Chain A
């Protein structure tokens, strides 16, 4: 019984439409919106980590570049956010493309260390360039404006978040079942084999890297305009690890796994009352236990158990 893309997308749309009427209060709605934005970044990172098997623990850097890029363009250059967001995404795409060439020649832990380094550099720059970024105290970001109509109402934001998420899910599902997607997943499965069937390994890894950077950037930008305030914490190592954990826990290479991971890990801190130390303990445990006992992640493991192939 094959996984039906169409049915999955329909079901997702249904859930997204019904959700706001089911959620009891604005607090939950706010969480839902944050989950959606986190899921966008997670789905992107899933393409890099789950599909292509390249572990990045520095992706919060792209998220922050998206957030700061958009905020700076909007506040200091007066660009409308609708223009600033794609501009920041384009910047991330270029940066990712330039970095990818050399970085993706590395394998395994070397690549991961390099991504760690990159994330840390972004963090350092954001903290130190106080004139541009507002330094460790962060900076404000103006709200999203569509045709002169400023988006402030939670319900309007929910619509934006839901639509963006649904589109990104669509893109990811399309990618999974496509020649490009198979080539990427082949890289993770057996790079030698992929090479031998003609996959240009460097090119495909670069594509995955750029796509994940763009989605992280979009996620960051939207979050910036939604929350109205950003700080260098967005580029922290802890945040990068949180993103990676979402992908690992939910399921490597699984689109819905990434969404599930995003949901779980966004809600957990709320349950823990935002006590940072406990978050780290929990994330660390999740990472270790998942890789030891559920190495495929939640969704693929469930799917295999239920007899499907995803």
Chain B
């Protein structure tokens, strides 16, 4: 579904990502791991339209999407979450999730002003509550965003991303900042999402999570692809162990 070829991005002489190639298969869970500074986030931002590639291509189902703006990518079925949370704190939890369905709504100003969207909104409300239940934050359906804890907000972002009905979901360090039990729930959630047929690409540090849910792992180090393969292969790869894993988790 997603093909990354010789992708490179330099920032004033420093190559944050250098000649990286891999592909993401539809319906699978792919992870990108690597030590700090390996270029994972830059890679992520390149794929999700935050950065433009200096060289190389990113193709979604054969179509070159390098440098496309995030809102255009949303139209092509790509959704993402953010490590540092980008939640609208001026809205309720439910409204945040409903925002995720933006592209599926009539969002013209005239229709909205005249109240013509009321019925569709009621249906959207129900669907969004269901999405909140799916990710496990249904208990907070009546809460305001400012009343929610970090862990809940992280899952709320995923609910929002899912409301767009994406083909490809990009998760930016979903376990960052979560404690053990929250990480456990997050792992289960990602598994549920994949079972629903959504292709998932995640960047992550937590080895336990990565090893347990990924069908395919790409290891990066210093901007380059170091290795790739399934969990077992990567765990045994001597280069990976040398660069990164050290003691087994």
Contacts and interface: CB of A to CB of B under 8 A. Distances in A.
> Do A's and B's CB atoms come within 8 Å in the complex?
yes
Contacts of A304: 144
A183 B101 CA distance: 10
A201 B70 CA distance: 11
Interface stretch (B59-67, B106-114, B182-190): B106-114
B91 A185 contact: yes
A193 B121 CA distance: 20
Interface string A266-310: 000000000000000000000000000000000000001000010
B99 interface: yes
Nearest to B106: A179
Contacts of A174: 112-115, 118
A88 to B, nearest CB: 20
Contacts, number: 122
Contacts of B115: 170, 174, 178
Contacts of B179: none
A151 interface: no
A181 to B, nearest CB: 6
B114 to A, nearest CB: 7
A309 B157 CA distance: 20
Interface string A170-205: 110011011111110110111011111111110000
A284 B81 CA distance: 40
Interface stretch (B26-34, B72-80, B229-237): B72-80
A193 B86 contact: yes
Contact of A182 (B48, B98, B114): B98
A85 interface: no
B112 A198 contact: no
Nearest to A201: B71
B90 A183 contact: no
Given A175-B112, A179-B101, 14 more contacts: A179-B106, A179-B117, A180-B111, A182-B99, A185-B88, A188-B88, A189-B91, A190-B86, A190-B88, A192-B86, A193-B82, A195-B70, A196-B70, A197-B99
Interface of A: 170-171, 174-175, 177-183, 185-186, 188-190, 192-201, 207, 211, 253, 304, 309
